[in-house]
Amino acid sequence: MEFDKDLSARQEARVLAKKAADAQKVLAGMSQGQIDAIVEAVAKAFSKEAEALAEMAVKETGFGNVRDKTVKNRFASEKVAAKVRGMKTVGVLKENDVDKLWEIAVPVGVIAAIVPSTNPTSTVCYKAIIALKAGNAVVFSPHPNAIGCTVRAAEIVAAAAESAGAPKGSVSCMTIPSLDGCQELMKAPEVKLILATGGPGMVKAAYSSGKPAIGVGAGNGPAYIHHTADVAQAIRHIVESKTFDNGTVCASEQSIIVEKSLEDAVVKEGCRQGLYFMSKAEAKCLAALLFRPNGTLSPKVVGKAAPALAEMAGFKVPTETKILVARENEAGPSVPYSMEKLCPVLAFYVMNSEAEVLSKCVEILSHEGSGHTFSMHAEDKAVIRRFAEKIPVSRFLVNTPSALGGIGDTTNLFPALTLGCGAVGGSSSADNISPMHLIDIRKVAWGSNGTRAQVNDELIELVAAKILEKLR
């Protein structure tokens, strides 16, 4: 009998969703201490396998590098676990005797978690920790190009969770790569919420499923270097960010923008730190490789190092080159360098004034990346405030590597690999997604003003007293 992949994937999705629902009923009855023990076990086990999983991911997808993927795996396990340690997510969260209100945490239930190929292992640990911490079961749907490493990551998490007392089925992963299977999972009646991290099509499908969903849009953040910035430090931050895992973090910078007065200083320092400013001919050759005819980013360039990208485009750069830079003036669907580029490639905009910089940043983000991330290097707080009030993003980062600051590694944002873009970006949240986004809060409220009749009687007595006082 011929194997029907789509039919088998749909059946697998239904089975996993049902098992997850049974497991979640058990999780929902656990104490905070029991839940916390499960989370700690997951983080510890995953951290031990961080490098091995990174090697699997790079080998299978061809994206990024082992060193930085190892860092991401440890970030998703150690840093996320440290942040949620002590966070109350079970039972009564607050008792307000003054306002006569209680708040009780209620798990949302089974979560369908979509995993991208750019972060195929770290996303598993991060989403598992925030889901389990909130008392939810989670079923992962891997990207077809990262099925092996994602399944392995989920196996490690599931085994660790079960060893600490989680019921079997609390963490599971689809093993048959199929769009039909993913859609079946999202629409399964047992699934109560979808955590979608992936391409625009997948995020749109999550929001069209008829289920509550938390999806994220594309990043396309400009990095503004203001004339009050320490230029050497700003470039150092940009290089650290844009080369991290070869540019696969969506919060990484996609362009550098400066005023004309700072152009020479930025170019000189950029060249010193490994930026290669391409000629018009070189930029044209690379642009032809970046995007497919349908306008989507070519997987051939994702997560490749700068020298390899140049070679693919038919020109050579020094072996120490870290980022390829193309001069640009415009933004829009026909301007490749104004788009999100998940590789060490940047656009370089030079404007005549601060006002023009602000206008161009808004234009770039309005074209793509609304609600996501913007970075600014400056010491003038008045300018920072002025831009922060106008730039349409959820994460406005100051004097930090954008990729690492956006995910909460070099800032005090919640450490996350799912970054909400808010309503302006078509997302249901503007936050870095945490366990608190994966619980419902039940309000217990006591009557505080008596019955309506009592209130009316009190009002009548008050009015009568005032009338008698005037008559005296």
Query: Cα(463)–Cα(419) distance, rounded to whole angstroms?
Result: 55
Query: Cα(409)–Cα(165) distance, rounded to whole angstroms?
Result: 30
Strand, coil or helix: 389: coil
Strand, coil or helix: 187: helix
Measured from the Cβ of residue 77, the count of other Cβ atoms closer than 10 Å reads 27
User: Which pairing describes strands 110-114 and 101-107: parallel, antiparallel, or unpaired?
Assistant: unpaired
DSSP designation for 436? G
End-to-end, the C-alpha distance of the chain in Å comes to: 101
CA angle 180, 146, 139 (to 5 degrees): 55
Q: What type of residue sits at position 279?
A: S
Query: Cα(302)–Cα(290) distance, rounded to whole angstroms?
Result: 9
Give the CA distances from residue 351 to residues 225, 233, 258, 260, 358, in Å, rounded to whole numbers and listed in that order.
12, 21, 6, 6, 10
- Using an 8 Å Cβ cutoff, are 211 and 192 in contact? yes
DSSP designation for 419? B
The kind and range of the H/E element at 104 are strand 101-107
The kind and range of the H/E element at 258 are strand 253-259
Q: Which one of the listed residues 125, 182, 250, 361 is annotated catalytic?
A: 250
Known catalytic residue at 125: no
Residues with catalytic function: 250
